[in-house]
Amino acid sequence: MMLLFSLLINYRKLSAFNRQKPISVHLHDMPQTSTNQISLNIANESFLLLPQKALIRTNDKTLIIADLHLGKATHFRKAGIPVPDEVFKTDLNKIDLLVNQHQIENVWVLGDFFHSNSNSEWARFQQWLETSSIKKWTIIPGNHDKSTLSESISNKMEIAESHIILNGIIYCHEFQENEMPVISGHIHPGISLKGNGKQNLQIPCFFMHGLNLLLPAFGSFTGLAKIEPQKGDRVFGIANESILEIQLTKK
């Protein structure tokens, strides 16, 4: 018996969208199939949405991620909060996997690359970077990056300004409304699915409003902010190492 799910929404720090009152939506049932990637076209640019919470720009095989938050686990441990070191390893292993699977040579990070002031994870990342096959990292600074990215960095890394415009698309950390499509991070979008039996499942997602795409947080030690779709919006949920488009309908 299929469960009737309600989709809950609540934006955090996304007031720049010119949004009307959100519509009420139901998930009448979950799609029967999911996949390991979804193709998406924005302004004649082709992308792949991946369940690893990453985006690939296909014409130049660039991996695009947001909100990696390296160093967060060590930052919490320094504050006396026990967080396993596996968090750091998991995120770098995931990058290695994507690079090998998709023949990636370049990585773009749309902000919050490093979580806080420099700690031991920064040095470990630089050591890992020198042995990586990735030729170039391009970092668009986020609100967490200011202190760390002012330090000495690898010659494989380039620090961009507040945004990059390429082929009619703006890439940035925090969404700013523009006539051109915007691909951004910062929000850590997620959806909460509820069933009749009081089941509750929260999952990360890609969220598309018009031609603007909001990326999920790539880091494994990050939270979720519930989003609230309107008619015409698209939500791509991530669960069980798969990605699927959530079919939204009015109540």
Give residue 47's domain range.
5-250
Query: The tokens of 196 are what?
Result: 């009749």
| pTM of the predicted model as reported, rounded to 2 decimal places | 0.80
Half-sphere exposure of 209 (CA within 13 A, CB side): 22
Number of structural domains found in the chain: 1
Residue-by-residue pLDDT tens, the chain, 251 positions: 333 233 333 333 444 443 444 433 345 445 545 689 999 999 999 999 999 999 999 999 999 999 887 765 555 445 454 555 556 678 888 999 999 999 998 999 998 877 466 556 677 787 888 888 888 989 888 765 565 555 556 678 888 888 999 999 999 988 888 899 999 998 889 987 776 766 777 899 999 999 999 999 998 757 788 888 888 899 999 988 899 998 776 55
Q: What is the residue-wise DSSP string for 60-72?
A: TTEEEE----BTH
